[in-house]
Amino acid sequence: DVVMTQSPLSLPVTLGQPASISCRSSQSLVSGDGNTYLHWFQQRPGQSPRRLIYQVSARASGVPDRFSGSGSGTDFTLKISRVEAEDVGIYYCMQSTHWPGTFGQGTKLEIK
């Protein structure tokens, strides 16, 4: 199975400051169709995960534009340009290029 490794696992951030989470995969996530199926999810306390970013950089409907995704191959990043209080939670990357889909360990974002 593809191993997804996130860093950091804990991310204390001051309100209004930027934040960045790295996600690395153990093999390329470029699919045979040329697409890269790397996605980012946010899980707020007490809620189900929700998709923020799909296919590396496309924002899901309703996701604020302070969230952005980038990367290629095996190396990906989620950035929050200015952290707000509602961004507290756990962030996961996930690949669905290869079965089974696999998730990173999660990065817990908290406000300093």
Q: Which residues bind another protein (CB under 8 A)?
A: 37, 39, 41, 48-51, 54, 60, 92, 94, 96, 99-103, 105-106
Comparison of 37 and 66: residue with beta carbon closer to another protein: 37
Q: Shortest distance, CB of residue 112 to another protein, whole angstroms? A: 25
**Nearer residue to another protein within complex by CB, 41 or 76:** 41
With 0-12 / 13-18 / 19 or more C-beta atoms within 10 angstroms meaning exposed / middle / buried, residue 12 is: exposed
Of the pair 24, 49, the CB lying nearest another protein is at: 49
Name every residue whose Cβ is closer than 8 Å to that of residue 66 and which is 6 or more positions away in sequence: 80, 81, 82, 84
Q: How far is the CB of 87 from another protein (least distance, A)?
A: 18
| Calpha distance 73→38 (Å, rounded) | 10
Q: For residue 58, how far is the Cα from the chain centroid?
A: 12
- Shortest spacing between CB 21 and another protein, in angstroms: 15
Least gap, CB of 65 to another protein (angstroms): 19
Strand, coil or helix: what is 3? coil
Amino acid present at 71: G
